[in-house]
Structure 1
């Protein structure tokens, strides 16, 4: 079994772009756009433990900023356990990472991210990850 440890360069570039867009939107007080960029960062980063946890940590801080107890609690749980699924390639493909969606539910990958995530197992009904 191959462990997902090191994020490839093309994933790093895409992930960092979404994080920068998140920061830019937040600095412009556009919280709706900021949240969407965090969700996109999660979709990209969830395959690798460190960026996966990083996206949940940012969502956790966003929940604190908004005073959203459901999001704070949901992100805390995801920060503690999510990295394990990433490491072993057992993640809900396409899941946005929000506490408002089921933690293990696969979701459609946005059209513009499909080429990056071309090896994602979108046929699985539960936890999957990259096709082997």
Structure 2
């Protein structure tokens, strides 16, 4: 179970949120959304940050009157935390309602080193690689 986010991940996650707020305040909505997606890719391994991003995505959908996004985020909020808790998430998934909820996606190149412990080899839902005992 993934309760404690590594320091480097937390810093990258917070930086994406900072960039999200800056873009949102500047009314650059496509850029703001992109930073939410990137924060999702980083945070989806941990239940609290994962759920927090989906809540922000829900708020974004409400602000933009995008009912597809609103309903999609409600579903993701309801179940996403459990996948994080059990280390069973669609690695690389950007989290928006425009993406199938269980679709694995490539991790952006600039995040690959940070997320080096992500299990990109597994089939289906994965998460952080298990350390050998």
Question: Into which bin does the TM-score normalised by the smaller protein fall?
Answer: over 0.9
Gaps of 5+ in 2: none
Q: Deviations over 1:18-63 (max 9, x none)?
A: 0000000000000000000000000000000000001000000000
Q: Report the TM-score when normalising by structure 2.
A: 0.96
Q: Deviations over 1:79-128 (max 9, x none)?
A: 11100000110000000000000000110000000001001111223100
Match of 1:60 in 2: 58
Q: Map 1:109-120 onto structure 2 (within 5 A).
A: 109-120=107-118
CA RMSD after TM alignment: 0.6
Match of 1:71 in 2: 69
Match of 1:129 in 2: 127
Q: Deviations over 1:49-78 (max 9, x none)?
A: 000001000000000011000100000111
Aligned length: 130
Q: Report the TM-score when normalising by structure 1.
A: 0.97
- Runs of 4+ deviating beyond 3 Å: none
Q: Contact conserved, 1:106 with 1:125, CA < 8 A, in 2?
A: no
Gaps of 5+ in 1: none
Q: Helix, strand or coil for the counterpart of 1:115? A: coil
